[in-house]
Amino acid sequence: MPTRSVQHPNVAVYDHPLIQHKLTILREKSTRHEQFRTLLNQISGLMAYEVSRRLAVREKPVETPVAHTMGTELAEPTTIVPILRAGLAMMDGLLALFPEARVAHIGIYRDEKTAKPVTYYAKMPVDIARGPAIVVDPMLATGGSAIHAVELLREKGVRDIQLVCLVAAPEGIRAMHAAHPDVMIHVASIDERLNERFYIVPGLGDAGDRIFGTQ
């Protein structure tokens, strides 16, 4: 079970020993991109078990080889929403747990003049508002991209939204809480701070570059 942050009540911290072990390897600058991708998906899958605990269910009649009984099925379609590009590396870990989930994609960049997030790509199921959405991005730094992604989902009528990250800066957590206090944030670590370049300290470096080997 994750623990709730005392300072940030909207954050669940996944302090499981196996997750923390894998996160430590991720942080190491010598970790190569292929291992980085693998570990990121593994951690996402380990977190997915608890993230999915909140999903609504309903009863379903089922016939076993022996008798009729009542079982349980997910009541609503779940949509996983990776923020491009780094969020793609977390998608398979979540889909491995519940492959019936749909996938939406949101691409966001920050305008250098205005410093505001700009959507360059958004593809979602037409009925995405029917069920919950799980937004995934390895890092929550300033919170700008994640906040913008949640706003796009709100515009589509989605009401049940969770955010899954590996590491988060306190600045990003506070920004998300101020903008969307009902969004639960799931993280493997709350790190110290942002530096002058808005990188998370100690963080992971540039997660996108490390995932795809472009650094």
One digit per residue, pLDDT tens: the chain, 215 residues?
688 777 888 899 999 999 999 999 999 999 998 899 999 999 999 999 889 888 889 999 999 999 999 999 998 999 999 998 889 888 888 898 888 899 999 998 877 666 678 899 999 999 999 999 999 999 999 999 999 999 999 999 999 999 999 999 999 999 999 999 999 999 999 998 998 888 899 998 888 778 887 76
Distance of alpha carbon 215 from alpha carbon 209, whole angstroms: 5
pLDDT, residue 197, reads: 82
pLDDT, residue 214, reads: 78
Distance of alpha carbon 55 from alpha carbon 94, whole angstroms: 14
Contact yes or no for 139/186 (Cβ under 8 A): no
Cα 173 to the chain's mean position, in Å?
A: 13
pLDDT, residue 27, reads: 94
pLDDT, residue 137, reads: 94
Residue in the structure block whose two tokens are 């650094």? 215
Distance of alpha carbon 204 from alpha carbon 51, whole angstroms: 22
Cα 153 to the chain's mean position, in Å?
A: 14
* Closest C-alpha among 74, 25, 80, 3 to residue 48: 80
Residues tagged active-site: 110, 114, 206, 209
Residue in the structure block whose two tokens are 């995934």? 136
Contact yes or no for 16/65 (Cβ under 8 A): no
**The token pair that represents 70 in the structure block:** 């009542």
Contact yes or no for 211/181 (Cβ under 8 A): no
pLDDT, residue 115, reads: 60
What's the predicted TM-score (pTM) here?
Answer: 0.90
Q: Which structural domains are found in the chain, ordered by start?
A: 3-212 (3.40.50.2020)
